[in-house]
Amino acid sequence: MTDTDTLSIAKRREAVLAELSDAATPPPVLVAVTKTQPEAAIADILATGQRVFGENRVQEAEARWAGCRGAYPDLELHLIGPLQTNKAEDAVRLFDVIETVDRPKLVDALVKAMAKVGRALPVLIQVNTGEEPQKAGVVPSDVQELLQYARSRGLEVQGLMCIPPVDEPAGPHFALLADLAKSLGLSVLSMGMSSDYVTAARFGSTHVRVGSALFGARI
Ligand SMILES: *Cc1c(COP(=O)(O)O)cnc(C)c1O
C-alpha cells in the first residue's frame, strides 16, 4: 500500500464515523468488514484504532485474526456470515459475537461448542426481513419461537441482524427489524452496510457492518 492508500482508509473511516455521529446519538458501533481485504489494508485500519471487525467465513477469519489477540487484546470479532454446525466449535474459539443464528440445530451446535470450549458468547438472530427463499435468516414470524428456544438452551441472545434485499429500499426492512427487536425486548440491532449505514443509524441501528465504504471495492 502506498501512503496515499493508507491515508484514504483512515480518511474514509473518519468520514463514516462523522456521518454516523450526525445521524444518531449515540451513533452505532462501526463494525469494519475485512473479508477478502489484503494484509496491508488490515494493518492500515488497525493503525486508526479500529478494533471491531466483521468476517463472514470462519476459516478466512481464523487465518487472519487468530494470531492477533496478543497484539490487540481489545479486538472484537463478529461472525456475520452463515455458520455450518460443523464449524461451530471453531467459531466459538475465535469470535466474540455470532450474528447469524437462524435455526434450532445451530443453537444446539453452539450450546455444545460453548460448553466444550468453556466460552459463552452473545449471539444475534439473523432475520430474513424480505422473506427471500435463497437467503439465510429466520422469517419475522418465526423469530419469537427461535428466541425462546435459544434462551431455553441457555444462549444469551442480545438482538437481531438483517441484510435487506438488494433491489428494495432498505428503510422499511430496518423499521421492521427495529419494531421486532422492540417488541421482543432486544437491545442490539445489527443493520446497515456501505450503501445504507446512514439510513440504518436513523432507524436505530446499534451496529453497522461496513466494508467497501472503508476499503474500496472488494477484489
Ligand atoms: C460483506 C458484508 C457486509 C459489508 O458489505 P459492504 O457493502 O462492503 O459494506 C456487511 N454484512 C454482511 C453480512 C456481509 O457479508
Which pLDDT tens digit goes with each residue over 45-59? 999 999 999 999 999
Residue 174: burial class (beta carbons within 10 Å; 0-12, 13-18, 19+) = buried
Q: Give the residues across from 125 on adjacent strands.
A: 101, 160
What is the CA angle 71-74-77, rounded to 5?
100
> Which of 33, 98, 198, 199 most suits a substitution to test ligand 1, by most atoms within 8 Å of the C-beta?
33
Rg (CA), the chain: 17
Q: Please report the pLDDT score of residue 6 as a whole number.
A: 55
Q: Please report the pLDDT score of residue 199 as a whole number.
A: 98
Q: Please report the pLDDT score of residue 5 as a whole number.
A: 55
Q: In Å, how far are 6, 7, 11, 46, 90 from 3, measured between CA atoms?
A: 5, 6, 12, 15, 36
CB 212 near ligand 1, within 6 Å: yes
Percent of the chain with pLDDT over 70: 96
**Could you tell me the pLDDT band of residue 217, with boundaries at 50, 70 and 90?**
confident
Q: Please report the pLDDT score of residue 185 as a whole number.
A: 98
pLDDT tens for residues 147-197?
999 999 999 999 999 999 999 999 999 999 999 999 999 999 999 999 999
Q: What are phi and psi of 116, to 5 degrees?
A: -65, -45
Contact 206, 188 (CB under 8 A): yes
Q: What are phi and psi of 2, to 5 degrees?
A: -85, 170
Mean pLDDT estimate for the chain: 95
> Which of 34, 36, 56, 126 most suits a substitution to test ligand 1, by most atoms within 8 Å of the C-beta?
56
Give distance in angstroms: CA of 80 to centre of ligand 1: 8
**Could you tell me the pLDDT band of residue 215, with boundaries at 50, 70 and 90?**
very high
Give distance in angstroms: CA of 116 to centre of ligand 1: 30
- 0.85 surpassed by pTM: yes
Rama region for 118: left / alpha / beta (φ>0; ψ in -120 to 50; rest): left
Q: Please report the pLDDT score of residue 187 as a whole number.
A: 97
Q: Please report the pLDDT score of residue 180 as a whole number.
A: 98
Question: In the predicted model, what is the mean pLDDT of residues 63-70?
Answer: 92
Q: Please report the pLDDT score of residue 216 as a whole number.
A: 86
CA of 212, closest atom in ligand 1: 8
Question: In the predicted model, what is the mean pLDDT of residues 103-129?
Answer: 98
Give distance in angstroms: CA of 194 to centre of ligand 1: 7
pLDDT tens for residues 14-31?
999 999 999 999 999 999
Residue range 6-215 forms a domain whose CATH class is alpha beta
Say if residue 172 is preceded by a cis peptide, omega within 30 of 0. no
Question: In the predicted model, what is the mean pLDDT of residues 126-143?
Answer: 97
CB 36 near ligand 1, within 6 Å: no
Question: In the predicted model, what is the mean pLDDT of residues 2-16?
Answer: 79
